[in-house]
């Protein structure tokens, strides 16, 4: 996992604000190497160990509703590249064509088995395939769909200097995202203007903190969160202080 030259980056990522984070990462070559090595080794082991769980989930999904086992939505990862994510399907087939591309609590598109899978974040297990392939990493900014990436403020583009992640500090603090969206009359607008900028505060901090020990800490926090532990949010008085203004 090495950085490409600044001049070879897509023009939308080469913002003045993103250069600060690029310079930080350019000094962390060993951390980037070990991050990819860790991803490759651990994802390989987990894919083998969890293969029976994959089989059980696949059978449950197929029995519960018609459609594919995996949800292969197009997302955006490192350098703005698009890829089809591997997630166990938790909604009815073609649900993304029937409403918002983010999911609120009590969404009628979620299947019975899907509700259980989402509760324990088992749908994320499919992304081990993406980590093994290198399109994702264990800890990093959650991959967004293109229409949300297009709304990024200049500083937010810095998050695309690294592969998208399965988990992050922001996703831990915003695990109740579905509840926040459930009361919204315009889910997309609420996500873009309120939730996304707040999560980006943590995502940008994680670039500055990047090292293996921090990644392991976030992975442990994620497991504890799934088991019910609550973590309080740390936020600046205003997003403007961090240069992440709402669009």
Residue 81 domain-assigned (yes or no) = yes
Q: What is the pLDDT of residue 247?
A: 47
DSSP state of 6: G
Residue 1 domain-assigned (yes or no) = no
Structure tokens at 115: 């509700």
Domain count, the chain: 1
Distance, CA of 60 to CA of 82 (rounded, Å): 29
Specify burial of residue 202 (Cβ count, 10 A radius: 0-12, 13-18, 19+): buried
Contact, 139 vs 51, CB < 8 A? no
Q: Strands (DSSP E) along the chain, which ranges? A: 70-71, 74-76, 82-84, 87-88, 136-139, 164-167
Q: What is the pLDDT of residue 148?
A: 94
Q: What is the pLDDT of residue 233?
A: 72
Q: What is the pLDDT of residue 105?
A: 60
Count of all residues that appear for the chain in the document = 247
What is the distance in angstroms between the CA of the first residue and the CA of the last residue of the chain?
Answer: 31
Distance, CA of 179 to CA of 124 (rounded, Å): 19
Residue 247 domain-assigned (yes or no) = no
User: Which residues, at least 6 apart from 11, have a Cβ–Cβ distance to it below 8 Å?
Assistant: none
Q: What is the pLDDT of residue 245?
A: 59
Q: What is the pLDDT of residue 104?
A: 60
Type and span of the H or E element at 170? helix 169-173
> Phi and psi (nearest 5°) for 166?
-70, -40
pTM of the predicted model as reported, rounded to 2 decimal places = 0.88
Contact, 123 vs 60, CB < 8 A? no
Residue 109 domain-assigned (yes or no) = yes
Residue 217 domain-assigned (yes or no) = yes
Q: What is the pLDDT of residue 119?
A: 87
What domain range includes position 128?
Answer: 6-242
Show the low-confidence residues of the chain (pLDDT under 70): 99-106, 234-247
Residue 57 domain-assigned (yes or no) = yes
């Amino acid at each position: 996992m090495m950085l490409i030259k600044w001049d070879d980056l897509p023009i939308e990522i080469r913002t003045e604000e993103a250069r600060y984070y690029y310079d930080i990462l350019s000094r962390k070559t060993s951390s980037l190497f070990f991050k990819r090595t860790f991803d490759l080794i651990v994802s390989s082991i987990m894919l083998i160990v969890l293969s029976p769980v994959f089989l059980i989930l696949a059978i449950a999904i197929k029995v519960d509703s018609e459609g594919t086992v995996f949800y292969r939505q197009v997302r955006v990862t490192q350098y703005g590249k698009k890829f089809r994510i591997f997630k166990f399907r938790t909604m009815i087939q073609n649900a993304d064509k029937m409403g918002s591309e983010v999911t609120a609590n009590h969404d009628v598109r979620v299947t019975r088995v899907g509700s259980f899978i989402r509760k324990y974040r088992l749908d994320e297990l499919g992304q081990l395939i993406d980590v093994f392939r290198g399109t994702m990493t264990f800890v990093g900014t959650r991959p967004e769909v293109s229409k949300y990436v297009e709304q990024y403020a200049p500083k937010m583009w810095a998050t695309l200097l690294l592969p998208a992640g399965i988990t992050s500090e922001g996703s831990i603090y915003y695990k109740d995202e579905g509840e926040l969206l459930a009361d919204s009359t315009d889910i997309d607008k609420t996500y873009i203007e309120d939730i996304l900028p707040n999560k980006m505060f943590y995502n940008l901090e994680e670039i500055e903190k990047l090292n293996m020990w921090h990644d392991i800490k976030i992975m442990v926090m994620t497991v504890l969160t799934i088991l019910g532990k609550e973590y309080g949010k740390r936020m600046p008085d205003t997003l403007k202080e961090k240069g992440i203004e709402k669009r």
